[in-house]
Structure 1
Amino acid sequence: MIDEMASRFVVVVDETKMVQYLGETFKLPVEVDKFNWYHILRKIESYADIKVERRVNEDVAFITDNGNYILDVSYQKELTHISSMSI
């Protein structure tokens, strides 16, 4: 969503970050508003074979510098329909 709202969006990576598909090597972190995080978690989980966990630190919800939560998303296979997964 940030890239849709920004007038300019820049991503800097090198070849060590390249994978065949998102989530191949680690859980995909998703930053969400802490007031409707549970609704977003359920929405993401509604897609097949996806597991979502709210990131915690010593049993307390991890909070970003922006005051939001992080959801860690993992799945069993490549997401071929990711462009249709808008929330």
Structure 2
Amino acid sequence: MLRHAALGFVLGVVGAAIIVATDALNLRSLAVATPMGWLGLSIFCFLMGLTIGSLQIGFAVMLQGRDDEHDDPKGGHGARLVPIPVPVHRRRR
């Protein structure tokens, strides 16, 4: 789980660095033009890392219970739906 979180955080920071390096949406120009631009860029990088890291943790949780050996060859997970009869009592008017 922590490995997924760390990988996601690194991917998010790298993605944020690419966005800043390519000056997408004039983000780098805006940061250079303001006196506290470095703070805004560092918060942006941190929050991108946090978001992508959270997504990776979600992927890790979703993949945790998967067991490929016991999966149904048709693509299901071996669960079978069985109907259960439920008696319904109808009142006469």
Same-fold call, TM cutoff 0.5? no
Structure that is richer in helix per residue: 2
Larger CA Rg, structure 1 vs 2: 2
Structure richer in strand, relative to its length: 1
TM-score range, shorter chain: under 0.3
